[in-house]
Amino acid sequence: MTRTLYGILLTLLSPLLVIYLWLRGNKDRRYRQRWSERFGLARWQPAHVLIHCVSMGETLAAQRLIETIQQRHPNLKLCITCSSPTGSKLIQTRFSNVQHSYLPFDLPWAVARFTQQLAPQLTIIMETELWPNLVHQLKRRQCKLVLANARLSEKSSGQYQKWPKLTHPMLASLDAIAAQTKAESERFVDLGVAPKRCHVFGSLKFDISIDADTQKAAHALTEQLKRPVWVAGSVHPDEFDAILAAHQQLLDTVPQALLIMVPRHPERFEQAKQLVAAGPMYWQAWSQSQQVDDDTQVVIGDTMGQLLRFYGVAHCAFVGGSLMERGGQNPLEPAAFAKPIIMGPSQYNFLEIGLQLRQAGALVQVNDAHSLAAQLQLWLTDADAASNAGQAALSVVARNQGAVDKHYRLLSHYLADINA
């Protein structure tokens, strides 16, 4: 398939994009807002640098890199785009003095209008959010393109191989790729990217830092609770039953244990509440009260931006998206708090990171509610074992840091050439 044919097909299917946004709006009304941005009909001010972070996770990973660029190049105008409402809220909360927008769908006319108005001289795309028409329009305007914190699984590489006329010109347009691992860098080379354009810098997610306010809030909640706590973070609906079943089993041996369950997506908060309300355990919603009663057994974390605080309170943490085929969410968040980590078998989003944590004894893999409960019991009743695993997790984070500096050194050459 050529890019021209791809553009025609996407245009013909564009009514489905409207239906998609409308249906997503049934659970999160923000998907029914700001459509002019998604279809390239908004107005944008020129920006020197475009940074695209598809959602909240990529935005968090890019935060320190973006802050470094802002600090060292205060004269440059930045535009940060994303594709999800949660990512949008985070961008608006975390970054000042930047232009923000949803990235338009990859419709030919939409990205043409977007890139013409924005006119960036450098575009930084996080991870693997590559779109053929967007890349084409940026390159025809002589914009430098860098793929940062790049990931490319074997499966994704195979998909790229199926459509060489579409993907190879897109990849050839990239001026530099900063891959997370050597294996991913080699996959890009196998797809035709010049080796001199591929670099291995590790993951930006290792450069996580816990701000003082989050640490203070976590300490205050720890002082309030003073009981065994485990956090199930970024969990998906297909995991709710297993997590609640594991906690029910855990209560037989650790009756004072408290579960803080944080759904991955805000539109799933109500589903989680309804499920726990239908069971036998005492529960409360964090949005209703930040004072946890002594007889509460489950807290549903139903407010955005609190997950790091909850990880700071935990004696151990389960990281969601891993008991079903979602590839797992970010285990480095609890690791940065020196917390022992539990995940299910699906970890393809963090293969290298998960391997390092497992080899260090910081992460234990479980397969179901029963094995989850057994590992929870071990770490909630053996403080030394939990502490050793937590310190091992923190050590893995510490020895892998430095990706922000490596990324910035690469980007500095392009930033210096910007005509501001």
Distance CA 329, CA 377 (A): 23
Q: Return the closest-CA partner of residue 307 out of 343, 261, 339.
A: 261
CA distance 315 to 317: 7
C-alpha 44/C-alpha 216 separation (Å) is 39
CA 60 vs CA 46, 267, 328, 334, 419: distances in Å:
24, 20, 16, 14, 28
Contact 249, 230 (CB under 8 A): no
189/287 Cα distance (integer angstroms): 48
Q: Which residues contact 314 (CB under 8 A, 6 or more apart)?
A: 229, 230, 231, 260, 334, 337, 339
Helix axes 383-399, 351-359, angle to 10 degrees: 130
DSSP 122: E
Q: Which helix (H) or strand (E) holds 412?
A: helix 403-416
Examine the residue annotation and report whether 333 is marked as an active-site residue of this protein: no
User: Which residue among the candidates 58, 127, 239, 267 is catalytic per the annotation?
Assistant: 58
- 145 with 415: CB under 8 angstroms? no
Tell me which H or E stretch contains 81.
strand 78-82
User: Which residue has tokens 């720890």?
Assistant: 222
Q: For strand 78-82 and strand 198-200, is the pairing parallel, antiparallel, or unpaired?
A: unpaired
Q: Are the C-beta atoms of residues 152 and 183 closer than 8 Å to each other?
A: no
Annotated catalytic residues are 58
